[in-house]
Amino acid sequence: MRFYPLFFRAAFSWMDAERAHRIGFEAIRAVHRVGAGRMIERFARPAESLRTHAFGIEFPSPFGLAAGFDKEGKGIEALAELGFGHIEVGTITGQAQPGNPKPRLFRLIPDRAVVNRMGFNNDGASAVAPRIAAARRALEQRYGAQRPIIGINIGKTKVVPLEQAVEDYRTSARTLAPHADYLVVNVSSPNTPGLRLLQSVETLRPLLEAVREESLASAQRHVPLLVKIAPDLADGDIDDVARLALDLGLDGIIATNTTIGREGLVSDPAAVEACGEGGLSGAPLKARSLEVLRRLSAVVGNQLSLVSVGGVETSSDVKERLAAGASLVQGYTAFLYEGPFWAASLNRELAKAAVVTRGTAPA
């Protein structure tokens, strides 16, 4: 019998979801601060056989933590001890912002899902950058060349008009790129008004070109650049984004963000309605996320790296995404339901299955 699901129901299931997240995250950080994380890390460190190459970087494992859990770079070292091959921090905006009014995070436990309308709450790029820089130095000292990878996810500040979005993203790229192993342009959250309009190729092209230019100038090196898209895009628009990524020479695409759809849920409709607006993540997103991955893979082949996220819960899910064309796989919502040893468990099962990704360097 697994302990954590029982603990979750007893300790967290009745609690406000954002408060539960804050308590859980602080507990993970506290374990790290007192040094106990080193014992966990010995148990959780991915097997050497899982080392994976994507966009010119070696990852300890193909499985990592998606953006949204650590929005401000406050727990990178602690999360690395849990076995994630990479930690994607963010979404971070050019200016600090409080996010949307509370309550703004809700669980649909029968669906193993979460609805959020957090609204990119974060301290802003200039405040977060030193934390990430310090975490990166600490990981380099501890793990050397085999350290977990740090991705940085950037988005638009809410008060910035859409016509000024490019400059806002430039600000974030200029501040954060020097500390990033890879950089993600998030244009797919449903919780910032108008943001998803930036996914059209006409507006996306100049945005990505500007971020890449600013990133290179600031970091003085090539920082792999990816774009994160929504599952709600029409199939034709997905194809257009894939072709744009190839045309611009991007390093990858992350698919997918949360969905505004509510189809196929088993939770009480009244409970779903009570959640209100926001992005749905978790198990209900699994089928569409996989469908988008396969569609992207059909267009881009092995010309760039695909990162699959959405409804990933088990090692079988990870293997399925890798087989469908992903170089890397991310999870988030299942972390809330499965607990702190989730990544370590998946890594062990993947190693036993002798998983090989299309991004793995040849022997």
Torsion of the alpha carbons at 132, 44, 7 and 23, rounded to the nearest 10: -10
pLDDT band at 176; cut points 50, 70, 90:
very high
Residue 304 lies in a domain: yes
Indicate the pTM of the whole model: 0.93
CA distance 107 to 94: 29
Residue 63: in which H helix or E strand, if any? strand 63-65
Residue 191 lies in a domain: yes
Other residues' Cβ atoms within 10 Å of the Cβ of residue 311: 24
Residue 42 lies in a domain: yes
Q: Are 154 and 89 in contact (CB under 8 A)?
A: no
Range of the domain at 19: 3-352
Q: What is the largest CA-CA distance in the chain?
A: 54
Number of structural domains found in the chain: 1
To the nearest whole percent, how much of the chain has pLDDT over 70?
94
Output the pLDDT for position 357.
56
Pick left, alpha or beta for residue 51 (phi over 0 → left; psi -120 to 50 → alpha; otherwise beta).
beta
Residue 260 lies in a domain: yes
Residue 360 lies in a domain: no
Rounded to 10 deg, the angle between the 342-352 and 37-44 helix axes is 20
Pairing assessment for the beta strands 328-331 and 149-155 based on DSSP bridges = unpaired
Q: Are 107 and 46 in contact (CB under 8 A)?
A: no
Checking if the pLDDT of 355 tops 80, the result is no
Q: Are 80 and 87 in contact (CB under 8 A)?
A: yes
Residue 358 lies in a domain: no
Across the range 252-268, mean pLDDT stands at 94
Give the tens place of pLDDT for each residue, 215-251.
999 999 999 999 999 998 889 889 988 999 999 999 9
Output the pLDDT for position 363.
33
Please, is 42 exposed, middle or buried when counting C-beta atoms within 10 Å of its C-beta (0-12, 13-18, 19+)?
A: exposed
pLDDT band at 12; cut points 50, 70, 90:
confident
Q: Are 334 and 282 in contact (CB under 8 A)?
A: yes
- Here the CATH number for the domain that contains residue 123 is 3.20.20.70
Residue 346 lies in a domain: yes
CA distance 235 to 63: 26
CA distance 300 to 94: 31
Q: Is the pLDDT higher at 126 or at 201? A: 126
Residue 363 lies in a domain: no
To the nearest whole percent, how much of the chain has pLDDT over 90?
74
Pairing assessment for the beta strands 149-155 and 252-255 based on DSSP bridges = unpaired
Q: Are 289 and 231 in contact (CB under 8 A)?
A: yes
Checking if the pLDDT of 65 tops 80, the result is yes
The annotation places the binding site for substrate at 71, 116-120, 186, 191, 257-258
Our answer to whether residue 189 is catalytic in this structure is: yes
Of 295, 341, 334, nearest in space to 312 by CA: 334
CA distance 248 to 193: 26
Other residues' Cβ atoms within 10 Å of the Cβ of residue 298: 11
Catalytic residue (one of 189, 267, 297, 308): 189
Checking if the pLDDT of 362 tops 50, the result is no
DSSP SS3 for 192: coil
CA distance 2 to 341: 11
Checking if the pLDDT of 192 tops 80, the result is no
Checking if the pLDDT of 60 tops 80, the result is yes
H-assigned helices in 53-200: 76-80, 125-143, 165-176
